[in-house]
A and B are shown apart, each in its own frame.
Chain A
Amino acid sequence: MNNKETTYTRRMKVADLLASDGNLLSILQRLGIKLGFGEATVADICNRYGISTELFLMICNIYSFHDYRPQTANLVSSDIKSITAYLRASHRYYVETCFPAIHNGIHNLVKELDEVSRKLIDKFYDDYDSEITNHFRYEEDTVFPYIDSLLADSCDGRGKYSIHQFEENHSNISEKLNDLKNIIAKYLGEEYSSPLRYSLLADIYTIESDLSKHSLIENRLLIPLVEKLENRHE
């Protein structure tokens, strides 16, 4: 979908953006945009916070319209830095806000379970938690510094690594989250608290959909831009 009328524009007020899709609230949050923005437009806010307006709009479109396909043609290599900054901020948001909520929900739920199920689900979630934390750490410690070195035109990173390895490593991290959802919704018996499970499931659905947008930004924006950069260096 690239129909301009149905996607967001730089002249839109930030307040109208939020009014049309409340899910964008968390984007503003992770970009560190302070509330109290009054009648500021998207372009105003982006200028004030030093964010690429083009990129900001793409991210909002990705979150709001599931059939939106971002094009990298209008992005330049300096936008890469903004993308990795956004992805880092996003990781922080997951680790500091989303996962603690899920962990808390799991913790309250397993208190009711028999010992076997409690151990199982605790372990399942802990394994998932360390898997995704490692994944984020890998991106921040290996992938992003490599991209920085490409941008700085330094020789350090070149040859040692390529973004293709990242693509290969980019395994499907949402699989276990989906399994957890089904175990909680379908396979824990009716005797265990439904209100707890409903609110836990709602949290899982939210982060699952957010993570899929996060991957889309990596796969459709970051990787193609870095590939272009790699080709330029060769």
Chain B
Amino acid sequence: MNKENRYRIVLIEPSEIVAAGIASIIERHPDFVIEQTLANPDYLRTNSNYDIIIINPAVIDYNDRLDIRSYFTGTDAAIVALTNSSYEESVLRQYDECIGIYDNAPRIVQKLRNAMEQNAQNPKNELNELSSRERDILAAVAKGKTNKEIADEFNISIYTVISHRRNISQKLGINSIPGLTVYAIMNKLVDMSDFG
């Protein structure tokens, strides 16, 4: 495999020793390259095209652990757990594979391949397509409704509205309300007549 075709990996592991160890094992293999190593997921560049995210589940807040896919909405990479302790099965089941720190090199490579295969079968959320809920919320934003009004209308919390709006802007690359309005009208989510 030449350099460009290698699978790109981001490694999220708080222990420098573990991170360096697994990176050196993986990088010995010509098919894989570690693009980035992070101590926690906050600095993950979600717009980058990684093939595999290897993450220690401990770095994710307990409440978010059970919904790992929605934690990484910006990517369709395979997600692999790297564990040095035991987790409930319901936590680990969401991952495409699970690497333990006692796995040997061939086993780790095998698991990365399994993860890629597993991930290929996962239903893909259309990355930059808005979901129908997002389209409804975008239409409401374009009509000039406030977060509070939208929360009441859809019977969701203001925080959920804010989170939807962040995801919409991230998907479209449009942040300002006038910009979102232009998009909404051009895509017929709202009608000019809504504006009198």
What residues make up the interface of A, taking CB atoms closer than 8 Å to B?
116-117, 120-121, 124, 127, 175-176, 178-180, 182-183, 186-188
Interface of B is mostly: helix
Task: State the majority secondary structure of interface residues on A.
Answer: helix
User: Using Cβ atoms and an 8 Å threshold, which residues of chain A touch B178?
Assistant: 124, 127, 176, 179
Complex interface: chain B residues within 8 A of A127 (CB)? 178
Q: A120-B186, A176-B179 are in contact. List 20 more A-B contacts (CB 8 A).
A: A116-B185, A116-B186, A120-B185, A124-B179, A124-B182, A127-B178, A175-B175, A178-B173, A178-B175, A179-B173, A179-B176, A179-B178, A179-B180, A179-B182, A182-B174, A183-B174, A183-B179, A183-B182, A186-B172, A187-B183
Say yes or no: A186 contacts B179, CB within 8 Å: no
CA distance A175 to B179 in the complex (A): 9
Q: Is B187 at the interface (CB under 8 A from chain A)? A: yes
How many interface residues does chain B have, given as a range?
10 to 19
A165, B54: Cα distance in complex, Å: 45
Q: Are A179 and B179 in contact (CB under 8 A)?
A: yes
Closest 10 CB pairs of A and B: A179-B179, A182-B173, A179-B174, A176-B176, A120-B182, A175-B175, A175-B176, A179-B176, A124-B182, A124-B178
Measured between beta carbons, the chain A residues less than 8 angstroms from B173 are 178-179, 182, 186
How far, in Å, is A115 (CB) from chain B's closest CB?
A: 9
**C-alpha gap A183/B178 in the complex (Å):** 11
